[in-house]
Each structure stands twice: as structure tokens, then as C-alpha cells.
Amino acid sequence: MARSRKRRPERSDAEDSFQRLLAGWKRTETRRGREWVVQPVSAVQAVKDYTCPGCHRAIVPQTGHVVVWRADGVLGETADLAARRHWHTQCWRIA
């Protein structure tokens, strides 16, 4: 007897990126009266160059850091995630 195969609904790259970010360990922090979602990125997961908005220096691949986005934005969760920024962990702590 043949098995039936259920097809998964197609998802866009943005949705996949959104789901990957939500799947990891994250926390919510309040800074300057706003809620922020902070998600650590391990050195193994860090595969691209980013510029830290705190110090304006490069976050090179294989450097652990945090990804930060608004948790209370008025345009919705998808727009907040699209505006996320990669910070050096120390820069975020002192921001």
C-alpha cells in the first residue's frame, strides 16, 4: 500500500527567516521605555559580517553576538523583525 504524502504549504524566505529567529532562545528587555526582543547568536551560527549599531565596528563571522528587534512596534511583528539589528553583546549591554 502506498503512503500518502502531505505537502507543506510554501513559505517565503522572509517567513522562513522569521520562524528561524523565533525558534531560538530569546528574551524580552525594556530599554528607554520600549520593549525589545534579544536573541543570542552563537559563534557557530554567525556566518556573515554585520555592522554593530552601538560601536559601528564589524561583527565578523564566528563571533557570538545578539540580534535585537522591537517587541512593541506598531507595524506588527513581521515589520519589527525586518528592522532587526545585530549588536556586539557588550555594546548591547551598555546601550
How much is the pLDDT for 73?
Answer: 83
pTM of this structure: 0.72
CB-count exposure of residue 9 (10 Å: 0-12, 13-18, 19+): exposed
Higher-confidence residue of 18 and 48: namely: 48
Cβ neighbours around 20 below 10 Å, total: 10
Encode pLDDT of 49-90 as tens digits. Answer: 999 999 999 999 999 999 999 998 888 888 998 999 999 999
Cα separation, 80 vs 60, in Å, equals: 24
SS (H, E, C) 9-50: CCCCHHHHHHHHHHHCCCEEEEECCEEEEEEEECCCCCCCCE
